[in-house]
Chains A and B, each alone.
Chain A
Amino acid sequence: MNELAPATHTHTSAPAESYLDEHTVRSWLLTTDHKRIGVLYLISIVFYFLVAAVAVGIMRIELLHPHGTLLLNETYNKLFTLHGVLMVWFFLIPSIPSALGNFIIPIMIGARDVAFPKLNLLSWYLFMIGGGFVLYSIMIGGVDTGWTFYTPFSSTYSNTHVLTMVFGVFIAGFSSILTGLNFIITIHKMRAPGMRWFRMPLFLWSLYSTSIILVLATPVLAITLLLMAVERVWGIGIFDPRLGGDPILFQHLFWFYSHPAVYIMVLPSMGVVSELMAAFTRKEVFGYEWVAGASVAIAVVGFLVWGHHMFVSSQSIYAGMVFSILSFIVAVPSGIKVFNWTATLYQGSISFETPMIYALGFIGLFAIGGLTGLFLAALAVDVHVTDTYFVVAHFHYIMVGGAVMGFMGGLHYWWPKITGRLYPEAFGRLAAIVTFIGFNFTFFPQFVMGYLGMPRRYHNYAPEFQVYHVLSTAGASILGIGYLLPVIYLLWSLRYGKKAPANPWHATGLEWQTTSPPPKHNFDETPVVTGPPYDYTEDFEPKPSGVLHA
């Protein structure tokens, strides 16, 4: 199609042509268009999310009573393993990078596609094959190790289908690596003329940092799982202390990936929130360079804190102290971000559209999650609350409160761009508020009961914890409504929603300069960037009221 060095790309056909115009199954399954691959990811992760949510729904019902009789012990173990594996690897990690990132990154930098479109499609197929293995291992009986696959239980003693599930995660890991690699090269080499590093929107900075973690941490998980599988098959004893191995080695390798993985989940959300803060306060993000730098800092420091997962594992007290200090240090760039978002709100002309409510919800939940992270980074407190619901509540505040609120905010923000349709704003606001309330209802009681000593992963418990579990289950049902509402009205909007204009939010950013939905190659002409990313000063124009209400 294009011969040598066409600086611009022009369409000879009608200008209304969009990336959605072809309708055959083949055109979707063999596509190399980053936008379609983003949509494929979007559909897949929502599916995995629903399966994982059903698993946890059953668990919450079981936990209503101290001696719940709904589930056998083994079934309960299998459900929380399933919930963890699907949520972590098949929803949280790919949610923003693979679905929204794939769609938005090339448009945001003014490129026609990612650097390696075929690799991009391959990574979706790997993701689906990995998910297939996980679902298959449930169908043949499930796995009871927990999503952490701790050895030697997983490698020697568990009688469940550990190998099948681990293989699924292993394959999904390669999908992560390829996606991260694609993003790094795309952001390095495909930026439109004039888009210097410090003219990039903050979403790109956060996904760039995320991609570095994906490329450098995920292989360590892969080799760890491979070693564990080898031990399980041949009984070799790398991690089995009876044979001279060391289960702590598994934990070091596992958390070397899995702690940075938390930042894979939350950094993209931070990028989304930065975009939303600028768009809905009509202001430049306060301290842009600092927010950008904080993303990279979180990625770098995030590699150095894995040992705080092993404070009670008999590792040396000196290692514990070093990991404790390093863990505190992560709070610095995280704090920079939160303070700068707050400062952006100051004297901004704030409008509370759906994405903005999600973004503000993110800040609230992330602040609680982050502050309780400091409790856990402190050696002595951590010893008290290790393996209790306090930890469960903390990581749900960060990973669900952080990652899911960011994902929902980003999804609503870019939904008109992705589908070309507007959703009913009132329902959107309602869903955002219900989610926020349901979330706190679900997880705040868990902080309390964890602090009082309720261990995680138990389904029979002392009666004094029942009140907290009932609160938590009640909250989970509100949260469930908060998640189901968008599914309903977003699907509704596909057919009945108003047609979206190119820039429904009057936001800056190259993605709003092209039509909604975008044409196959994103832009009719390669855009040229001439200024900073959030220039709301000159062309500030108040939104015509009612334009967003479908």
Chain B
Amino acid sequence: MPDARQPLAEQFATLPQQAEASRLGMWAFLCSEVMFFGGLFLGYIIYRHAYPHAFAVASRETDVLYGTLNTAILLTSSLTMALAVFASKEGQFKEVRHFLIATILLAIAFLGVKALEYTDDFHKHLFPGPMFADAGEPKTQLFFMFYWMMTSLHALHVIIGIGLLSAMTVRSAKNHFSAEYHNPIEITGLYWHFVDIVWIFLYPLLYLINRHS
């Protein structure tokens, strides 16, 4: 693992080459992530089209308050992440750490809210399976299947993000970075913004559409 004493991995010739490679690598990875979530979005769209009424009924069962709160939290965390990347380019690593820790705390807050919401959902029997609360529309289960799959996969990405952010905080504290070598923070930022963007699509799909129809 490259660090401050030896920031250049041996397969690369120069630091800019290494930075460009890892940036492009993260973009390529995010492309594959888009295709991964894409399958779920496709299924959701198809069944929303096939069973509009059932999906409208089901989406009224989700808790818009939790959803909105989480959207606000996650958007704020994208801001703190962007500030961390900005500060790392300026070489101000104390600020970088503060912003990274703020991002981590917001991410934990997001998961906390999500946990509360999941608990409520369980009590309302909204988990697909034999115990499912059949609200008069059998296809509502399909909606909740997508709800659970999409949000739990997203939550898994948030958890991985917390791991990455923590690693960046520790490495920053150990002076592994400099104004010339801060590339890992930047690509962690790319990942984090992706996690945010996925939620930006999930929020209207799961919480907002058809709420008042």
| B141, chain A: closest CB distance, angstroms | 6
> Which residues of A have CB within 8 Å of B42?
253
> Which residues of B have CB within 8 Å of A188?
21, 24
The answer to whether the Cβ of A67 comes within 8 Å of any Cβ in the partner chain is no
Tell me if B36 and A223 are in contact (CB < 8 A).
yes
- In-complex Cβ contact of B142 among A218, A222, A238 (8 A): A238
The answer to whether the Cβ of A550 comes within 8 Å of any Cβ in the partner chain is no
The answer to whether the Cβ of A15 comes within 8 Å of any Cβ in the partner chain is no
Tell me if A217 and B35 are in contact (CB < 8 A).
yes
Tell me if A185 and B24 are in contact (CB < 8 A).
yes
The proximity string for A residues 178-201 relative to B, scoring 1 for CB distances below 8 Å and 0 otherwise, is 000110110011100000000000
> Which residues of A have CB within 8 Å of B14?
4-5
- Given A216-B32, A219-B33, A223-B36: A237 in contact with B11 (beta carbons within 8 A): no
Tell me if B39 and A223 are in contact (CB < 8 A).
yes
The proximity string for B residues 73-87 relative to A, scoring 1 for CB distances below 8 Å and 0 otherwise, is 000000000000000
Tell me if B32 and A177 are in contact (CB < 8 A).
yes
| B69, chain A: closest CB distance, angstroms | 27
* CA A217 to CA B129, docked complex, whole Å: 30
Considering only CB atoms and an 8 Å cut-off, how many residues of chain B contact the other chain?
42
Tell me if B13 and A230 are in contact (CB < 8 A).
no
| B126, chain A: closest CB distance, angstroms | 13
Residue of A nearest to B137 (CB): A244
> Which residues of A have CB within 8 Å of B32?
177, 181, 215-216, 218-219
Tell me if B28 and A6 are in contact (CB < 8 A).
no
Query: Which chain B residues numbered 12 to 66 have a C-beta less than 8 Å away from chain A?
Result: 12-15, 17, 20-22, 24-25, 28-29, 31-33, 35-40, 42-43, 46-47, 50-51
Tell me if B36 and A215 are in contact (CB < 8 A).
no
> Which residues of A have CB within 8 Å of B22?
115
* CA A234 to CA B149, docked complex, whole Å: 12
Tell me if A185 and B28 are in contact (CB < 8 A).
yes
The answer to whether the Cβ of A117 comes within 8 Å of any Cβ in the partner chain is yes
- Given A222-B36, A234-B128: A244 in contact with B11 (beta carbons within 8 A): no
Tell me if B142 and A245 are in contact (CB < 8 A).
yes
Residue of A nearest to B139 (CB): A244
- In-complex Cβ contact of B43 among A116, A117, A182, A249 (8 A): A249
> Which residues of B have CB within 8 Å of A513?
none
| B134, chain A: closest CB distance, angstroms | 12
> Which residues of B have CB within 8 Å of A511?
none
* CA A184 to CA B8, docked complex, whole Å: 20
The proximity string for A residues 229-243 relative to B, scoring 1 for CB distances below 8 Å and 0 otherwise, is 010001111100001
> Which residues of A have CB within 8 Å of B38?
219-220, 223
- In-complex Cβ contact of B10 among A112, A182, A215 (8 A): A112
Tell me if A236 and B141 are in contact (CB < 8 A).
yes
> Which residues of B have CB within 8 Å of A116?
21, 25
Tell me if A115 and B21 are in contact (CB < 8 A).
yes
Tell me if A181 and B46 are in contact (CB < 8 A).
no
The proximity string for A residues 110-139 relative to B, scoring 1 for CB distances below 8 Å and 0 otherwise, is 011111110000000000000000000000
- Given A189-B17, A189-B20, A190-B21: A219 in contact with B142 (beta carbons within 8 A): no
The answer to whether the Cβ of A545 comes within 8 Å of any Cβ in the partner chain is no
The answer to whether the Cβ of A156 comes within 8 Å of any Cβ in the partner chain is no
Tell me if B21 and A185 are in contact (CB < 8 A).
yes
| B163, chain A: closest CB distance, angstroms | 16
- Given A188-B24, A215-B28: A243 in contact with B35 (beta carbons within 8 A): no
- In-complex Cβ contact of A234 among B10, B15, B31, B129 (8 A): B129
A-B contact count (CB 8 A): 120
> Which residues of A have CB within 8 Å of B142?
236-238, 243-245
Residue of B nearest to A211 (CB): B28
Residue of A nearest to B138 (CB): A244
* CA A405 to CA B12, docked complex, whole Å: 35
- In-complex Cβ contact of B11 among A113, A218, A227, A235 (8 A): A113
| A7, chain B: closest CB distance, angstroms | 6
| A527, chain B: closest CB distance, angstroms | 12
The answer to whether the Cβ of B159 comes within 8 Å of any Cβ in the partner chain is no
> Which residues of A have CB within 8 Å of B155?
none
| A177, chain B: closest CB distance, angstroms | 5
> Which residues of A have CB within 8 Å of B37?
223
* CA A185 to CA B32, docked complex, whole Å: 14
Residue of B nearest to A250 (CB): B43
Residue of B nearest to A181 (CB): B28
The answer to whether the Cβ of A224 comes within 8 Å of any Cβ in the partner chain is yes
> Which residues of B have CB within 8 Å of A1?
10
| B100, chain A: closest CB distance, angstroms | 23
Tell me if A190 and B11 are in contact (CB < 8 A).
yes
> Which residues of B have CB within 8 Å of A111?
11
> Which residues of A have CB within 8 Å of B25?
115-116, 181-182, 185
> Which residues of B have CB within 8 Å of A117?
9, 11
- In-complex Cβ contact of A216 among B24, B35, B138 (8 A): B35
| A346, chain B: closest CB distance, angstroms | 39
* CA A113 to CA B13, docked complex, whole Å: 11
| A161, chain B: closest CB distance, angstroms | 22
Tell me if A236 and B21 are in contact (CB < 8 A).
no
The answer to whether the Cβ of B145 comes within 8 Å of any Cβ in the partner chain is yes
The answer to whether the Cβ of A387 comes within 8 Å of any Cβ in the partner chain is no
Tell me if A114 and B11 are in contact (CB < 8 A).
yes
- Given A218-B32, A219-B39: A235 in contact with B129 (beta carbons within 8 A): yes
- Given A181-B28, A224-B39: A246 in contact with B46 (beta carbons within 8 A): yes
Residue of A nearest to B146 (CB): A238
> Which residues of A have CB within 8 Å of B17?
189-190
The answer to whether the Cβ of A537 comes within 8 Å of any Cβ in the partner chain is no
- Given A181-B25, A235-B129, A244-B139: A220 in contact with B8 (beta carbons within 8 A): no
The answer to whether the Cβ of A372 comes within 8 Å of any Cβ in the partner chain is no
| B22, chain A: closest CB distance, angstroms | 8
* CA A190 to CA B9, docked complex, whole Å: 13
Q: Can you report 21 A-B residue pairs in the complex whose CB atoms are below 8 A from each other?
A: A2-B8, A4-B8, A4-B14, A5-B15, A7-B13, A111-B11, A181-B28, A184-B24, A185-B21, A188-B21, A189-B17, A215-B31, A215-B32, A219-B32, A219-B39, A223-B39, A227-B149, A235-B130, A245-B47, A245-B142, A249-B43
- Residues on B close to A: CB < 8 A? 6-15, 17, 20-22, 24-25, 28-29, 31-33, 35-40, 42-43, 46-47, 50-51, 128-130, 138-139, 141-142, 145, 149
